[in-house]
Amino acid sequence: MEPLRDLLFDYTIRNVALGSAVLGTVGGALGSFAVLRRQGLLGDALAHATLPGVCVAFMLTGSKSPAILLLGAALSAGLGALFILAVVGGTRIKQDAALGIVLSVFFGAGIVLLTFIAGSGDAGQSGLDRFIFGQAATIVRADVVTMGLLAAAAVVLLALFFKEFKLLSFDPAFAASLGFPVRALNVLLTALIVVAVVVGIQAVGVVLMAAMLITPAAAARQWTDRLSVMVSLSAAFGAASGVCGALISASGSNLPTGPLIVLVATGVLVVSLLLGRRHGFVWAWLAGRRNRREVLGRGGAS
Partner 1 sequence: MRLVKTEAPPAASPLEVSGVTAAYGSEPVLWDVSFRVPEGQLVAVVGPNGAGKTTLLKVVMGLMEPAAGRATVFGKPFSKARQLVGYVPQRGSVDWDFPTDALDVVQMGLYGKLGWFRRPGRREREKAMECLEKVGMAEFAGRQISQLSGGQQQRIFLARALAQEARLYLTDEPFAGVDYKTEQAIVELLRDLKAAGGTVVVVHHDLATVPDYFDRVVILNRRLVAEGPVEEVFTRENVSDAYGGAVSYLAGAE
Q: In 3D, which of 76, 47, 55 has the Cα closest to residue 206? A: 47
Q: 14 vs 166, which CB is nearer to partner 1?
A: 166
CA distance 202 to 205: 6
8 Å CB contact between 22 and 151:
yes
Q: 91 vs 126, which CB is nearer to partner 1?
A: 91
Three-state secondary-structure class, residue 63: coil
Q: 62 vs 181, which CB is nearer to partner 1?
A: 181
Tell whether residue 283 is a contact of partner 1 (CB under 8 A).
no
CA distance 134 to 108: 17
Q: Check the CA dihedral 17-19-21-24 and report its sign.
A: negative
State CA 250 to chain mean position distance. Answer: 20
Please identify, among the stretches 46-54, 78-86, 146-154, 158-166, the one whose residues bind partner 1 according to the rule CB under 8 A: 158-166
Q: 110 vs 238, which CB is nearer to partner 1?
A: 238
Q: In 3D, which of 186, 187, 195, 188 has the Cα closest to residue 213? A: 195
H or E element in which residue 23 lies: helix 11-36
CA distance 264 to 12: 21
Q: Output the smallest distance, CB 290 to partner 1, in A.
A: 17
CA distance 182 to 167: 10
Q: Name which position in 39, 138, 169, 190 contacts partner 1 (CB under 8 A).
A: 169
Q: Name which position in 112, 160, 271, 274 contacts partner 1 (CB under 8 A).
A: 160
User: Under rule CB under 8 A, which residues in 198-237 are in contact with partner 1?
Assistant: 221, 224-227, 230
Q: 115 vs 228, which CB is nearer to partner 1?
A: 228
Tell whether residue 281 is a contact of partner 1 (CB under 8 A).
no
CA distance 46 to 112: 18
Q: Name which position in 17, 30, 36, 151 contacts partner 1 (CB under 8 A).
A: 36
Q: 149 vs 160, which CB is nearer to partner 1?
A: 160
User: Under rule CB under 8 A, which residues in 234-273 are in contact with partner 1?
Assistant: none
Please identify, among the stretches 49-57, 125-133, 156-164, 207-215, the one whose residues bind partner 1 according to the rule CB under 8 A: 156-164
Binding residues vs partner 1 (CB under 8 A): 36, 160-164, 166-167, 169-171, 173-180, 221, 224-227, 230, 278
